[in-house]
């Protein structure tokens, strides 16, 4: 009698590398009407010392990524996206948690982002994680001149030990 073995989903987070750019571009094109270019990601990874980007893998396959700029004690989320086939399964939730934990680990006290005024799903996720609306950027998105809601959250202080299981760390 054959056993029905269910494969356990294994999620891992790691720092984005230049080799990840092709996967990231696929995710970018699935997620955004104004996707970033290969050159933009290459510049972020090689030239921008404030930039921190991570990959979320499921069973070894890149299914999401997130990025932020860390300036002084504030983190600014630049991008966060999950492959279309994996949406609605709480992966965005896990990715945002990891990004927030990493920002806290790096000494950030607050985090900010912009989100389309019409993107209620993302706004709901951000609010669930403690982000609050703080203003509007008029005509922020150049594809349709849509406004962006500016949101801010206070990050919890990182543990006194300086180690937090699961957080992405620079090597």
Percent of the chain exceeding pLDDT 70 equals 88
Q: Which of 28, 44, 98, 114 is catalytic?
A: 114
Q: Which of 53, 65, 105, 126 is catalytic?
A: 126
Give the pLDDT score at 106: 96
Residues 75-104: pLDDT tens digits?
999 999 999 999 999 999 999 999 999 999
Q: For residue 164, is pLDDT > 80?
A: no
Residues 3-28: pLDDT tens digits?
545 556 799 999 999 999 999 999 99
Dist. CA 42–CA 26, nearest whole Å: 15
CB 60 within 8 A of CB 11: no
Dist. CA 58–CA 12, nearest whole Å: 7
Residues with Cβ within 8 Å of 45's Cβ and at least 6 positions away in sequence, in order, are 16, 17, 18, 21, 51, 53
| 86 a catalytic residue | no
Give the pLDDT score at 7: 58
Dist. CA 58–CA 55, nearest whole Å: 10
| 126 a catalytic residue | yes
Which string of DSSP letters, residue by residue, matches 97-117?
A: HHHHHHHHHTT--EEEEEEET
Which range among 2-16, 112-126, 144-158 shows the weakest confidence by mean pLDDT?
A: 2-16
The torsion defined by the Cα of 153, 13, 41 and 22, in degrees rounded to 10, comes to: -140
């Amino acid at each position: 009698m054959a056993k029905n073995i269910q494969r356990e989903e294994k999620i891992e987070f790691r720092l984005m590398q230049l080799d990840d750019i092709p996967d990231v571009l696929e995710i970018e094109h699935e997620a955004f009407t104004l996707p970033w270019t290969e050159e933009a990601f290459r510049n972020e990874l090689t030239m921008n010392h404030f930039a921190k980007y991570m990959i979320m893998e499921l069973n070894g396959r890149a299914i999401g990524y997130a990025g932020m700029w860390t300036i002084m004690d504030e983190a600014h989320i630049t991008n966060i996206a999950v492959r279309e086939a994996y949406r609605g399964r709480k992966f965005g939730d896990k990715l945002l948690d990891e990004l927030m934990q990493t920002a806290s680990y790096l000494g950030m006290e607050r985090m900010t982002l912009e989100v389309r005024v019409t993107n209620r799903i993302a706004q709901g996720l951000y609010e669930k994680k403690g982000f609050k609306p703080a203003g509007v950027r008029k005509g922020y998105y150049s594809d349709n001149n849509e406004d962006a809601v500016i949101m801010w959250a206070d990050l919890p202080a990182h543990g006194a030990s300086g180690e937090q299981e699961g957080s992405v760390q620079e090597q």
